[in-house]
Amino acid sequence: MERTGAAAVIIGNEVLTAKVVDANGPLLIRRLREVGIPLRSVEIIPDDVDIIVEAVARARARAPYVFTSGGIGPTHDDVTVRAVALALGRQVVRLPEMVELVRKRSENLTAEALRLADAPEGAVLLPQEGTWFPVLTVDNIFLLPGVPQLFKLQLETVLARLRGTPVHLCNLYLRLGESAIAAVLDRVALDMPHVAIGSYPVFDATLDYRVKVTVEAAEAPPVEQAVARIRGGLPADAVLRQE
């Protein structure tokens, strides 16, 4: 796996216990695809420091950009800052500019409210339009809040700073089943490792096709070449349409 793209860690007991349906993972998946940043993995894990430390370290090994969702806040179950610091081998420090922001908007400034200003050493804040709460980031890890409205706002702030590469994709809709096309796909996938070929059967009599084959790559010519080879290896009427 090339070490490009992004990896995501969704921190949330509330998701794993079905108290809320995670909206942040699906949004991140969709938006990264739209801007052309490959996503390597999404892990949904509990609010547990040790588990978060491991997941963040794993995400960093997989991709240069890491997005976390959740565990940012002043309560006992908000342990993401501490875990990210541990994953990086850093201390937790109090960011003076965040202390100022918290102070400005707190009626009575509690010790707990000030926890919002804690961050891994080396962290910086990115100004966030539409809310007082800035984006917290350190070493290309973006610590986004779990609350979906805030996650969505902050995600766009981060994406505006990253550069993606749109993918070239071609879909083939086939009237044959997977077993009948597997040998052809095998050969093309083996010969062209830089082209990603996916095969997705459907079991739905209301659809006119039985398998959707996806062919994608960073450039258009290898996609066209792979599609031509797949079509050439199948019976002439196997492909219902190409999109």
What is d(CA 173, CA 176) in angstroms, rounded to the nearest whole number? 9
Binding to its own copies, residues 116-175 (CB under 8 A): 116, 147, 149-150, 167
For its own copies, the closer of residues 88 and 102 by Cβ is 102
Give the up-direction half-sphere exposure of residue 190: CA atoms within 13 A in the CB hemisphere. Answer: 6
Interaction pattern, residues 25-64, with its own copies; x per rule: CB under 8 A: xx--xx-xxx---xxxxxxxxxxx--x-------------
CA geometry: angle 54, 60, 66, nearest 5 deg: 105
Q: Is 24 in contact with 151 (CB distance < 8 Å)?
A: yes
Minimum CB distance to its own copies, residue 26 (Å): 6
Cα 66 → chain centroid = 8
H/E stretch holding 63 reads: none
For its own copies, the closer of residues 90 and 128 by Cβ is 128
Work out the end-to-end distance of the chain between its first and last CA atoms, rounded to an integer number of angstroms.
27
Helix axes 24-35, 148-159, angle to 10 degrees: 20
DSSP-derived pairing of the beta strands 135-138 and 124-126: antiparallel
Interaction pattern, residues 180-209, with its own copies; x per rule: CB under 8 A: xxxx-xx--xx-----xxxxxxxxx-----
For its own copies, the closer of residues 11 and 158 by Cβ is 11
Residue type, 5: G
Which tokens in the block code for residue 218? 């960073």
- Kindly indicate which of the ranges 12-20, 91-99, 118-126, 220-228 contains the residues binding its own copies, using the contact rule CB under 8 A: 12-20
Minimum CB distance to its own copies, residue 38 (Å): 8
- 93 near its own copies, judged by CB under 8 A: no
Which of 4, 77, 125, 240 forms a contact with its own copies (CB under 8 A)? 77
The single-letter DSSP state of residue 115 is G
Interface with its own copies by CB under 8 A: which residues? 1, 13-22, 25-26, 29-30, 32-34, 38-48, 51, 73-78, 106, 108, 110-113, 115-116, 147, 149-150, 167, 178-183, 185-186, 189-190, 196-204, 214, 216
